[in-house]
Amino acid sequence: MDKKDILKEFGRNLKAERNRAGLSQEQLAEKIGLSYGQVIGTIERGETNTSITVAIAIMRALNLDFEKLFDKKKYFKN
């Protein structure tokens, strides 16, 4: 399990879901109480390991389950 791959996958999926919701990075940031949209961009590019509280705020703002942002089957083998 490579940390960079996980962050990139999460970010790629976040961008797709944000676009599907018709929100800009700035609009999403504002919706979850962040001061500027650049933070969303760094998450979407996989450049930052965001906090769980920000991840949950994003999921709530976009009305998403975690599985929409992260394919746990890739990383959790039973």
Confidence of residue 72 (pLDDT cuts 50, 70, 90): confident
Per residue in 5-59, pLDDT (tens digit) is 999 999 999 999 999 999 999 999 999 998 887 899 999 999 999 999 999 999 9
The mean pLDDT value for 56-75 works out to: 87
Look-up of token digits 């590019």:
45
First to last CA, the chain: 15
Which pLDDT value is given to residue 49?
Answer: 94
What's this model's pTM, rounded to 2 decimal places? 0.87
Instruction: Give the number of domains in the chain.
Output: 1
Residue at 77 is within a domain: no
Q: What is the CATH number of the domain that holds 40?
A: 1.10.260.40
Which pLDDT value is given to residue 1?
Answer: 64
Can you give the residue range of the structural domain that contains 56? 3-68
Residue at 41 is within a domain: yes
